[in-house]
Amino acid sequence: MSHLRIAGRAVVLTGASRGIGLSIARELARRGAHLALVARQAEGLERCARQVRDEVPGCRTLVLPADVSDAAAIHDVVQRAAQHFGGLGGVVCNAGLAHPGYFEELPADVFERLCAVNYLGAVHTVRAALPHVQRGGFIALTSSVLGYMGAFGHTAYAGTKFALVGFAECLRQELLQREIHVAVLCPPDTDTPGFAVERAITPPETAALSANAGLMHADDVARRFLRALERRAFLINVNLSTAVFHRAHRWFPSLTRAVMDRMVLAAQQRSSRSRS
Ligand SMILES: NC(=O)c1ccc[n+]([C@@H]2O[C@H](COP(=O)([O-])OP(=O)(O)OC[C@H]3O[C@@H](n4cnc5c(N)ncnc54)[C@H](OP(=O)(O)O)[C@@H]3O)[C@@H](O)[C@H]2O)c1
pLDDT one-digit tens code per residue, 101-155: 999 999 999 999 999 999 999 999 999 999 999 999 999 999 999 999 999 999 9
The model's pLDDT over 191-209, given as tens digits with 9 standing for 90+, comes to: 999 999 999 999 999 999 8
Tell me what pLDDT residue 110 has.
Answer: 98
Best probe residue, ligand 1, of 26, 78, 190 (max atoms within 8 Å of C-beta): 190
Question: Residue 271 catalytic?
Answer: no
Distance CA 229, CA 265 (A): 38
Cβ atoms of residues 225 and 236 within 8 Å: yes
On average, the pLDDT of the chain sits at 96
List the residue whose alpha carbon is closest to atom 29 of ligand 1: 95
pTM of the model: 0.97
Distance CA 106, CA 111 (A): 8
Region 176-205 average pLDDT: 96
Instruction: For ligand 1, say whether the CB of 155 is within 6 Å of any of its atoms.
Output: no
Tell me what pLDDT residue 213 has.
Answer: 83
Residue 244 banded pLDDT, cuts 50, 70, 90: very high
Cβ atoms of residues 81 and 64 within 8 Å: yes
Phi and psi at residue 152, to the nearest 5°: -45, 135
Question: Residue 2 catalytic?
Answer: no
pLDDT over threshold 80, residue 275? no
CB atoms within 10 A of CB 264: 18
All structural domains of the chain with their residue ranges = 10-275
Region 85-103 average pLDDT: 98
Residues whose CB falls within 8 Å of the CB of residue 151, separated by 6 or more in sequence, listed in order: 158, 206, 209, 210, 260
End-to-end CA, the chain? 61
Tell me what pLDDT residue 235 has.
Answer: 98
**Helix (H/G/I), strand (E/B), else coil: 164:** helix
Taking the CA atoms of the chain, what radius of gyration do you get in angstroms? Answer: 19
Tell me what pLDDT residue 271 has.
Answer: 81
Cβ atoms of residues 258 and 208 within 8 Å: no
Region 224-230 average pLDDT: 98
Best probe residue, ligand 1, of 17, 43, 113 (max atoms within 8 Å of C-beta): 17
Question: Does domain 10-275 match CATH 3.20.20.30?
Answer: no
